[in-house]
Amino acid sequence: MDEKLITLNNLKIFAEELLKANYTLILQDKQGIRWEKISNSDELHISSKLKPTKASFKEFVFSKTEPIFYFNNKNDGVELIDSNLSAEKMVFFGSKPCDAKSINIMSKVFNWDYKDNFFNTKAENSIVIGMLCEYRDEFCFCTSVNLSPVSSDGSDLFLIPTDENNFAIRIVTEKGREFIQPFLKLFAEGNPETTDQIFKKINLPEKGFESEVIRSWIGNNFEHKYFERAGEICLGCGQCAFVCPVCHCFDIVDEECGYSCGRRMKNWDACQFSLFTLHGSGHNPRHNQTQRYRQRISHKFKYYVDKFDEILCTGCGRCSRGCPVGIDIGQIAKEVHSLAANKV
């Protein structure tokens, strides 16, 4: 594995050069709410100790709302016009391992039978510069979903702070290597063994549950009354799904642009909404919040694993930090794990 060294000063110059080369730099904002584009390398603030923003960077690869196509009613029929796919080159700078992994996970569902051009174009145009994470709170559980604060999985390049003003940068993918090529003069040669030592010193969040245990328990206990208890206080908002780095459900609606034209929009949707499964007939197969909450857990830890061999969760803890009623998905998984262990 190739490794380079860079000083904080040079990192700023690197950012400056990227901006000049028409890359869009996207970073955690200073308020800790969401990721935002920066226009000046002075705004580059990265740290391994930053708290994860309330929203993930998902919205840049999977927009909260975007047009799929436009339609125009003409005398000789309906004309369809494709929407332009953005070719913006994006760099996610200083992403935590739990964020960096998200594009890989989502790409499985977006390329499973239909190839989703909207997602793919943006994903292909993205470079993820991951960063070792030293933030911990009671909601973090990346180690329980087979990730870790030092994992470069999903990153193209991976930053490791060696001291306050110096970083090591690991080249993880071929895409990352090509991307960094024009800027190599800013980097010095590094030694992967030194950073391996740093990795060893990082303390990891305690592993709370085995995801495989959760998967098989859910498969055998679909009607278990535990879900009733977990789901009864859920208020049915979409906060958890919308801040999640990997939740990818969407809704399609038509909007008019004028008297004879319109656009078809793709909007985020969430399985906790009562409208999510509502049929046109008025029948709702998931008619109470308990069933909807069970769906959320099952999709994350069972269905997605069964289908794509990937847990639909990166353990970032965003949904739990923000849940209006304090539902903590890490805690629920732990409880399910102990239910499974005690065979109840």
Partner 1 sequence: MSEEKFQPKIVAFVCNWCTYTGADLAGTSRLKYQPNVRLIRLPCTGRIDPVFIIKAFEKGADGVLVSGCHPGDCHYNLGNLHARRRFILFSELMNYVGIDSSRLHFSWVSASEGKKWVDVINEVIDTVREVGPFKKYQKINKEFVLHE
Partner 2 sequence: MNELREKAKELLLNNTVKLIIGYANGNGHNRTYPFIARNAADANRLVFNEYCVNNLAVYLTRKEFKGKGIIGIVAKGCDVKAIIQLIQENQINKDEVYIIGMNCNGAVNQLDNSFEKTTLAQKCINCTVRTPALYHALIGTTKDIEEPADTLGEKIKEVEKLNADSRWDFWEAQFEKCIKCYACRQVCPLCYCEQCIVDKTVPRWIESSAHTRGNFSWNIIRAFHLSGRCIGCGECERVCPMDIPLSMLNRKMSIIAKKEFDYSAGVSLDSPTLVGTYNMKDRQDFIK
Is 192 a residue that touches partner 2 (CB under 8 A)?
A: no
Give ∠ CA 74-79-85 in degrees, rounded to 5: 140
CB 214 within 8 A of CB 301: yes
Give me the least distance between CB of 287 and partner 2, in Å please.
10
Name which of residues 46 to 75 contact partner 1 (CB under 8 A).
65-67, 70
Give ∠ CA 233-239-243 in degrees, rounded to 5: 140
Of 123, 265, 270, 305, the one binding partner 1 by CB under 8 A = 265
Stretch in the footprint of partner 1 (CB under 8 A) among 93-101, 181-189, 201-209, 258-266: 258-266
Number of CB atoms found within 10 A of residue 309's CB:
8
Cβ density class 35-62: b for 16+ within 10 Å, e for less = bbebeebeebebebebebbbbbbbebbb
Of 326, 338, 341, 344, the one binding partner 2 by CB under 8 A = 326
CB 94 within 8 A of CB 100: no
Of 84, 185, 325, 343, the one binding partner 2 by CB under 8 A = 325
SS3 content of the chain, % helix, strand, coil (to 5): 35, 20, 40
Stretch in the footprint of partner 1 (CB under 8 A) among 216-224, 240-248, 259-267, 336-344: 259-267
Alpha-carbon distance values, 213 to 293, 313, 340, 343 (Å): 19, 15, 7, 11
Is 250 a residue that touches partner 1 (CB under 8 A)?
A: no
CA distance 289 to 273: 9
Is 33 a residue that touches partner 2 (CB under 8 A)?
A: yes
Is 18 a residue that touches partner 2 (CB under 8 A)?
A: no
Give me the least distance between CB of 191 and partner 2, in Å please.
38
Is 188 a residue that touches partner 1 (CB under 8 A)?
A: no
Q: What character string, x for contact with partner 2 (CB under 8 A) and - otherwise, covers 65-94?
A: x-----------------------------
- Residues forming contacts to partner 1 in the complex (CB under 8 A) are 65-67, 70, 81, 83, 257, 261, 263, 265
